Structure 1
Amino acid sequence: METINFGTDGWRATLEEFTVPRVRMVGQAVATYLADEGLEGPVAIGYDARESSPEFAEELTRVLCANGFDVLLPERDRPTPLFAYGIVERDLAGALVVTASHNPPEYNGIKFISGDGAPALPEVMDAIADRLAEPEQHPRDSHGSAREVDFVSPHADHALGLAGADLEGLTVAYDAMHGSGRDTTDTLLEQAGASVDRLRCDRDPDFGGSPPEPSPEYLEELTERVQSGDGDADLGIANDGDADRLAVVTPERGYLDENLFFAALYDYLLEDGSGPAIRTVSTTYLIDRIGEAHGEDVHEVPVGFKWVAQGIAEYDALVGGEESGGFTIDGHVREKDGVLMALVAAAMHAEEPLDDRVDRLLAEHGTVVQDKISVACPDHEKARVLSDLEDEIPEAIAGTDVEDVNTADGFKLLLSDGSWVLIRPSGTEPVLRVYAEAEDDDRIAALLEAGEDLLAEFV
């Protein structure tokens, strides 16, 4: 049990630790939790494109069925957000998805999505962790049943109605990165009228030798398709391994920083809607400037989409997102959805080129640059490092006074020139993250170096 540690978004580990017996224990813990809470509805069990994922999903199905739960399964690996929507659409007790998201193929994981279609909050995951145990034996006449259902069509119909997208005449280059977005995101874009140029839309459990992480260094071919100048693609879109996040590539900028996409998204939604935005502590203040210009509030929450989801519910928000590429909008489930957001991104671009919208926003609200680095730190050392750092917060960073310190998630040092540095532990990897936001790249480099130097005293 000591090797099953629930992080920001469930349990994730290498296949040396992520074994069938431990997966079965997690399944039993979820079954016990649901039973203790009086939740008797069916449970969805999904999985990603990794070689080991179907087997682990089958083991979870056996355990849930043995505990009396009916299980609904997809016909193949499908994106995580489809199961979040399926929970609400089918009134399910919850969902388990076997996925390690953007991690390399030697990892796997389990995400638990609550009965409201949102990521489980820590108290729920703690309750599940407390119930880790060997699977229980129950009489066969009390077992539930398992059957395949269509999770794709209901989500697609909902997304098309919500986005209201007419993409006729638009060509989108779509990169599935060999993940579960293939034949889902690209098909949805075609249903909305777009022509789709497909990249890595075949299943490869090894993801072509690179992790299914939609970051610039892994999207070079997609960027080339959009920026080649031959006009073959108007926009590029990529999903991560389980397609709950997205990346966007534009003709002028290439890889579009997720903070800038969030800003463009909020601006787009405010054309016909109203309401606050929810952003994480690591996400740009440009969102706040846009909200203020429209008379809307912006609320900051800790990193992790569960906190974004909680904020959306608390403040009836128009949009929620994070700088790592996870977003959802009003009218949808409170879970990040890279499939829906691909459709919305294309609709935005069809209305006004994303580069033009971003240029306009930066001209109106000021230039913003953000970047981050990772500093290696074993998981068991993270709490100690942060405790030591708490007593050594400097009065200035990179020559600029520290005006305030936000401790909602790690330490966010707010500087007198409007820039900031954030130091926080990763919930999925053995690293500490150092983020910085400022007005230009040189200033960002100086702030990140100062943050790394500060951590060097303790790591």
Structure 2
Amino acid sequence: RCGVIDDLGEEIFADKVGVMLARDLARVHDKPTFVVDVKSTGLYHSDPVLQSLGVTTDYWKTGHSYIKRRVHELGALAGFEKSGHYFFNAPIGRGYDDGFVSAIAVIDMLARNPGKKMSDLRQALPKTWSSPTMSPHCGDEVKYGVVDKVIARLLAMKESGEPLDGHAIVEVNTVNGIRVTTADGTWGLIRASSNKPELVVVIESPVSEARYRAMFHAMDAVLRENPEVGAYNQTI
């Protein structure tokens, strides 16, 4: 894995580092494809710089083996996982996650941006409010069934036009649990943990902190329709 702390002492979440790297690499490689996991920031789709450079981003299953395989299948230039696993295909790397190759890619990005510090590149990204990975307890024997019910509930809301916290659901990704995006770009993810008796909840909003917190409460309300869901390890 590779972790990044900028010159101001700020930790940069790995998915945001991925956006910074994607911006840099898209100026070197024509219209590249990137693979990211479903827990990652929505900036891969909404960032105007990436859009202007013709970048294609595929949101895929969380898990380094899934991302590595998907990068290979699509012939993507790179894959970025929120956990800090980065996968670079040739000519940068050999397709697997390597912390040293990732660190070199970050250094190369700085070298191609003379006069800019890491904090400058971070602050150039559009502002979003994003949660850590929040994990309510849910037994291994029931967690996948709970996620199936949550998926059905949210798909029905989209189909019927029922708003989520007063906002229309405009996009749904069910490749790994369910990630719903509303008309203002705010999104929420609910999936089952692959290795713990837990669910995984992630929220992000490009609008405001208040909107991001409201989306969490809306997604949590859907979760709480299932009594099998227990307490969170952390919340916002």
8 Å contact kept, 1:280–1:321: yes
> Match of 2:20?
264
> Match of 1:358?
122
What's the secondary structure of 1:450's corresponding residue? helix
Aligned to 2:216, which of 433, 443, 448?
Answer: 448
**Aligned-residue CA RMSD (Å):** 2.1
Partner Cα distance (1:307, 1:293) in 2: 28
> Match of 2:196?
429
8 Å contact kept, 1:264–1:354: no
TM-score (norm. length: structure 1): 0.43
CA distances 1:340-391 after superposition (whole Å, capped 9, x unpaired):
212332343454322112223x2xxx32332231111121111221232234
**Deviation, structure 1 residue 318:** 1.6
Structure showing greater Rg: 1
> Match of 1:336?
97
Q: Report the CA distance shift for 1:253/1:403 in structure 2 as closer, same or farther (over 3 A).
A: farther
What's the secondary structure of 1:397's corresponding residue? coil
> Match of 1:246?
2
> Match of 2:129?
369
What's the secondary structure of 2:80's corresponding residue? strand
Q: Report the CA distance shift for 1:253/1:263 in structure 2 as closer, same or farther (over 3 A).
A: farther
> Match of 1:44?
none
CA distances 1:78-98 after superposition (whole Å, capped 9, x unpaired):
xxxxxxxxxxxxxxxxxxxxx
Is 2:44 the partner of 1:287?
Answer: yes
CA distances 1:291-343 after superposition (whole Å, capped 9, x unpaired):
32112322221212223223322332121111221112222232222232123
TM-score (norm. length: structure 2): 0.80
What's the secondary structure of 1:299's corresponding residue? strand
> Match of 2:170?
403
Q: Percent identity?
A: 24
> Match of 2:232?
none
What's the secondary structure of 2:153's corresponding residue? coil
Moved over 4 A (4+): none
Partner Cα distance (1:295, 1:342) in 2: 25
1:442 counterpart letter in structure 2 = A
Residues 77-88 of structure 1 correspond to what in structure 2 (within 5 A)? none
Is 2:149 the partner of 1:388?
Answer: yes
Partner Cα distance (1:279, 1:391) in 2: 24
Partner Cα distance (2:98, 2:53) in 1: 25
2:130 counterpart letter in structure 1 = Q
Partner Cα distance (1:433, 1:291) in 2: 28
> Match of 2:233?
none
Residues 12-411 of structure 1 correspond to what in structure 2 (within 5 A)? 245-252=1-8, 254-274=10-30, 275-288=32-45, 289=47, 290-331=49-90, 332-350=93-111, 351=113, 352-360=116-124, 362=125, 366-371=126-131, 372-393=133-154, 394=157, 395-411=162-178
8 Å contact kept, 1:278–1:312: yes
Could you list the runs of 5+ residues in structure 2 that have no partner in the other structure? 230-236
CA distances 1:107-149 after superposition (whole Å, capped 9, x unpaired):
xxxxxxxxxxxxxxxxxxxxxxxxxxxxxxxxxxxxxxxxxxx
What's the secondary structure of 1:396's corresponding residue? coil
2:220 counterpart letter in structure 1 = E
Partner Cα distance (1:441, 1:428) in 2: 31
**Deviation, structure 1 residue 253:** 5.9
What's the secondary structure of 1:380's corresponding residue? coil
8 Å contact kept, 2:35–2:58: yes
